[in-house]
A and B are shown apart, each in its own frame.
Chain A
Amino acid sequence: MIEELRQRLRGLEKPPGLEDGPAALLLGAAAVDRVLGGGLMRSALHEIAAAGEAHVAAATGFVAGVAALSSQGAVWVAEDMAALESGAPYGPGLDGFGVAPERLITVAVAQRRDLMWAMEEALRCRAVACVIGEMRHGALDAVAVRRLSLAAAETGALALILRAAPGDDGSTAATRWIVGAAASDGVEPRMLAQLVRNRRGPRGQWILEWSDSDGRFTCAAHAQPVAQPPRHRPHRQVA
């Protein structure tokens, strides 16, 4: 009886988005997964920003890779301006990335408020494993982000926010990335992924390749000596 209550208490104490184990999504590149503490957390919100206007496609590639790994229904909510400026997600290209277009729903929204609403609504649907919200410039509402994190924690879905440029607002996302294109060797396309915030550990930057045949990310090379040595950071309750 007491043991049972203790177990329940433990479950309640876990801050949303900080569960370990099977709730994490292995990206495939061992170095990255190690820094992330066993992969990208499901049931949490992650923020991926393009390094600049022209790098949106590279950031899209990172997001598409993550969506392909989560392998289930996905919902792509985009602001109208995003599709106009950076192009609309293209079915055959997504299919090449392993995101099955037949299991993707795209939603176009006119305002930021609708974007947040549609994302939350999609996160609460059990058939959806991954919700992508694509926005242009401008700040993110901290309350809305918090709501999304909670919704993701509830159903175990992955919430990804794709921004056209890095934002300077202190977001409560579990991880924040800045992704840009990287010069390739002419064979496999590469992207430079910088992990600029990681609630569970150190930051880092890697040059990643998406491998179509294996359907996972691989580490191409270190752009520079990267990951700071992992240091102990006790989990703390997030405001």
Chain B
Amino acid sequence: MLSLWLSRLATDRIARSRENSGAPLAVYGKRGNADVLTAVDDAAMRLGLHAGLALTQARAMHPALDVVPEDANADAQLLEHIADWCLRYTPLVACDTPDGLTLDITGCAHLYGGEKALTADLSARLARAGLACSIAVAGSIGAAHAAARYGAAGSHANGEERRLLSPLPLAALRLEAATVASLARVGLKQIGDMIDLPRAPLTARFGGAVLRQLDRALALEDEPLTPRLPVAPYVAEQRFPEPIAREEDVLLTAERLAERLKVALERRGDGARRIELTLFRTDGAVRRIAAGTSRPVRDAAEIRALFTERLAALADALDPGFGFDMARLSVLVAEASAPEQIGIGGGDETKEMNRLVDRLSARLGHQRVRRLIAQDSHLPEIAAASLPAQATGTDDGWASFRAYRNSVELAPRPLRLFARPEPIETVAAVPDGPPLRFRWRRALHEVAFADGPERIEGAWWSEHGGAARDYFRVEDRSGLRFWLFRAGLYRDLAPGGAAPAWFVHGMFA
């Protein structure tokens, strides 16, 4: 476990964003009813200022002090940004709010030549970004956290927790301030004071949290790490000694990584449904590009084709800056897929179609590529729906729709349906009959033929079901054919109520 403590997060953030004025810097915020300092930088620290001091007092002591109001959101954002950037070391990164991160580097350190080299790399990069930090590696989250914050930074081997923690103050155990104060009242100041005490009386007096935190720090009890981002089941990554910037290089890298993932995917009989390409820019920015598929995929060329479309569709260009120095391809969602025979050119029609759907979805967005499905409803606007093609299953309901249509001899349906029925003004000969003429989109149509009514009940079981409708197929004198309906029936009309309204719902060929 690696604990990273950004000791000057708030002041470093402000210093990064503006010219260095040289004046000591402090951040203040409201605590209770008073403005107090919440963070100070090194220069202010040397002047004897510290967090918790009243703002007025600090100003009186040092009139030249540069004070800035606190912005907790910006600090949290910066912390998340750094957490994203730390993904280059390990996928298991957790935020240790408000100003720290915990990285599970088990099995990752050797990639950098050991824990010491990794720590050095991390702190050097952060220092270059203008962030002061303190890093400790230890066998448990608690021990690493304590070591990073209480002056024992560095790398500590597993099993050394006891020796490491003994001299540290009790506050290092991540206990509440009130608990630490009451422990201090009975003379317990350092962790070492407490390790060998009988456990039952401690628990009875201070609650179970104290010993649990102690056990966790001593690695006697497991503490789960909650990563900020879900961990992908399949990951492949590539570091570049020389940063890459060209789009073709990025795509080539994606393909190479996909080749490597393919082996792992095949071994477990999986295919990727959602893939993410993470690009780490040299200046610390992280770019994530995700693509979905309509069925499990493991072919590298296909994955490359998906990212080609995604890159082409990016509203802002890839913006490589001074280049990317690392790329990672992760399969976010994997699904079992049948083993494929290699070498036979895909003659399968559905497969070709799925490929087309994936390409179109990657470029235009999956909401824009749709398939029509039939639903079990008598309401025309619900009877047919369109769903994203990548999400629809094999059962589209059209077979049962045809069976239903033939069994009840359903009246013809229009070729085009308006998303919202459009209101029209009508003149009808008899209240229940079809209109004689009507005005739609400011043009008058004289009805030549009419067929109907076809009565479609509203969803009477629902509060918002609407009234029953009488549908008419109507042709005007020029041959235009409309699907009109009257919302509401005259028999249901309340005395003195307004006459039912008419609408155009669709058009026939």
Contact = CB atoms under 8 A, between A and B. Distances in A.
Interface of A: 53-58, 60-62, 64, 73, 75, 83-84, 86-97, 100-102, 104-109, 114, 117-118, 121-122, 125-128, 180-184, 186, 189-192, 210
Contact of B356 (A60, A64, A127): A127
A170 to B, nearest CB: 29
Contacts of A128: 353, 356
Interface stretch (B109-117, B221-229, B369-377): B369-377
Identify the interface centre among A62, A73, A83, A181: most chain B CB within 10 Å of its CB.
Answer: A181
A186 B415 contact: no
Nearest to A83: B419
B369 A190 contact: no
Identify the interface centre among B384, B441, B477: most chain A CB within 10 Å of its CB.
Answer: B384
A91 B509 contact: no
Contacts of B478: 181, 183
A183 B443 contact: no
Interface in B453-509: 475, 477-481, 506-509
Contacts of B448: 183, 186
B249 interface: no
Contacts of A184: 449, 475, 479
Contacts of B433: none
A83 B386 CA distance: 13
A100 B398 contact: yes
Interface residues of B, number: 51
Nearest to A180: B479
A86 B441 CA distance: 12
B479 A93 contact: no
B506 A127 contact: no
Given A91-B374, A101-B398, A75 B356 contact: yes
A65 to B, nearest CB: 8
Interface of B: 349-350, 352-353, 355-357, 359-360, 363-364, 368-374, 380, 383-384, 386, 389, 396, 398, 401-402, 405, 410, 412-419, 441, 443, 448-449, 475, 477-481, 506-509
Given A107-B364, A121-B360, A181-B509, 14 more contacts: A54-B480, A86-B416, A87-B507, A90-B506, A93-B412, A94-B372, A97-B509, A102-B371, A105-B353, A105-B360, A105-B369, A121-B356, A125-B352, A189-B481
Given A84-B419, A101-B384, A90 B414 contact: yes
Contact of A104 (B372, B402, B508): B372
Contacts of A117: 363
Contacts, number: 176
Given A61-B509, A104-B372, A127-B350, A87 B418 contact: yes
A57 B349 contact: no
B398 to A, nearest CB: 5
Contacts of A121: 356, 359-360
Contacts of A56: 416, 507
Contact of A101 (B356, B374, B449): B374
A109 B402 contact: no
Nearest to B392: A102
B372 A106 contact: yes
A93 B414 CA distance: 5
A92 B374 contact: yes
Contacts of B509: 57-58, 60-62, 64, 97, 181, 189, 191, 210
A94 B383 CA distance: 13
A186 B475 contact: yes
A223 B356 CA distance: 42
Nearest to A60: B415
Contact of B508 (A89, A126, A186, A189): A189
A105 B370 contact: yes
Contact of B413 (A75, A93, A100): A93
B417 A181 contact: no
